Amino acid sequence: MNETVLVTGATGTTGSALVELLLEHDVAVRAMVRSDAAAARFAGTAVTPVVADLDDPAAVASALAGVDRAYLVTPSSERAQVQQERFAELAAEAGVAHLVKLSQLAADEGSPVRFLRYHAAVERRIRELGIAATFLRPNLFLQGMLAMAGPIREGRLFAPIGDARVSAVDVRDIAAVAAAVLTGTGHEGATYTITGPAAYTHAEIAAVLGEATGRPVTFVDVPPAAFAEQLRGVLPDWQVEGLLEDYAHYARGEAAAVLPTVRDVTGREPRTAAEFARDHKAAFTPG
């Protein structure tokens, strides 16, 4: 019988890309979503949607019934650690054979970055549970540029990062690693740090966005406080503070290593920032 793979965050950045890729494999794909309206997006596909909120343990337990492998992702909110640890506990109770958790590059319980601390704590809890698991630790998502598409369309890319290099990665390559792990063997117990094929400055990312759209984009190194000001009101304060910590970590040059994980796990080279920019040029081009 085909294995059943549950994808949490199936409407999100990595989860939606993963669902697409899993459909190319001989597995039953179950997509966890939060509403009937979100479930409707899978009508007419081979995906079976299941409605469950991570804060509703009974619904999550039902979503996990009969699942062989699961992909776990939540947004980085104040509740992420609790939500993820409980999901892992319910997965272990449900007899899930393999849990794939989306973590983050340099996850560490002693990190000054709150996101890296909670990811490491969840990884530790999953190890304690004894469930077979794989931890995916990607670097900065290139797709994060889409959240800044407004200023980029006006020719500016703002970030508090100076000339530090970051081996930012295309989410499609993270999803490809996740799909390979969820449909393959031999990945249990592994921790995969996932990077793009090169480490870029934000000035270089701005340049490739400009080349793709045919309009110059200039990188502007903003002070952290000004960056935070732009985000307040858009994101909860906890997340704004977390993003500042994240960018300080990038600015210290701690996310510049380039690793061969995408090639090693999927057999394909990761996409470059220029490929990302070309594939998303419509979003960065003024209407």
Q: Which is nearer to ligand NAP, 49 or 210 (CB)?
A: 49
**196: part of which helix (H) or strand (E)?**
none
CB 265 within 8 A of CB 192: yes
When asked if residue 13 is in the footprint of ligand NAP (CB under 6 A), the reply is yes
E-strand stretches of the chain: 3-7, 27-33, 48-51, 69-72, 98-102, 133-138, 156-159, 191-194, 218-221
When asked if residue 76 is in the footprint of ligand NAP (CB under 6 A), the reply is yes
When asked if residue 41 is in the footprint of ligand NAP (CB under 6 A), the reply is no
Q: How far is the CB of 165 from ligand NAP (least distance, A)?
A: 15
When asked if residue 138 is in the footprint of ligand NAP (CB under 6 A), the reply is yes
Which residue number is nearest to ligand NAP in terms of Cβ?
A: 12
When asked if residue 102 is in the footprint of ligand NAP (CB under 6 A), the reply is yes
Q: How far is the CB of 37 from ligand NAP (least distance, A)?
A: 9
The binder of ligand NAP chosen from 7, 19, 21, 54 (CB under 6 A): 54
Q: What are the structure tokens assigned to 124, written together?
A: 């530790």
Q: How many CB atoms lie within 10 A of CB 223?
A: 9
Q: What are the structure tokens assigned to 273, written together?
A: 């920032």
The binder of ligand NAP chosen from 75, 151, 216, 236 (CB under 6 A): 75
Count CA atoms closer than 13 A to 103's CA, side-chain side: 30
When asked if residue 210 is in the footprint of ligand NAP (CB under 6 A), the reply is no
Looking at 10-18, 181-189, 221-229, 277-285, which segment touches ligand NAP (CB under 6 A)? 10-18
When asked if residue 71 is in the footprint of ligand NAP (CB under 6 A), the reply is no
List the one residue out of 196, 200, 192 whose CA is nearest residue 258: 196
When asked if residue 134 is in the footprint of ligand NAP (CB under 6 A), the reply is no
Give the sign of the dihedral formed by CA 208, CA 214, CA 216, CA 217: negative
When asked if residue 74 is in the footprint of ligand NAP (CB under 6 A), the reply is yes
What's the CA gap between 209 and 213, in Å, rounded? 6
List the one residue out of 219, 220, 257 whose CA is nearest residue 139: 257
Give the residues lining the site for ligand NAP (CB under 6 A): 9-15, 34, 38, 53-55, 73-76, 102, 104, 115, 138, 140-141, 144
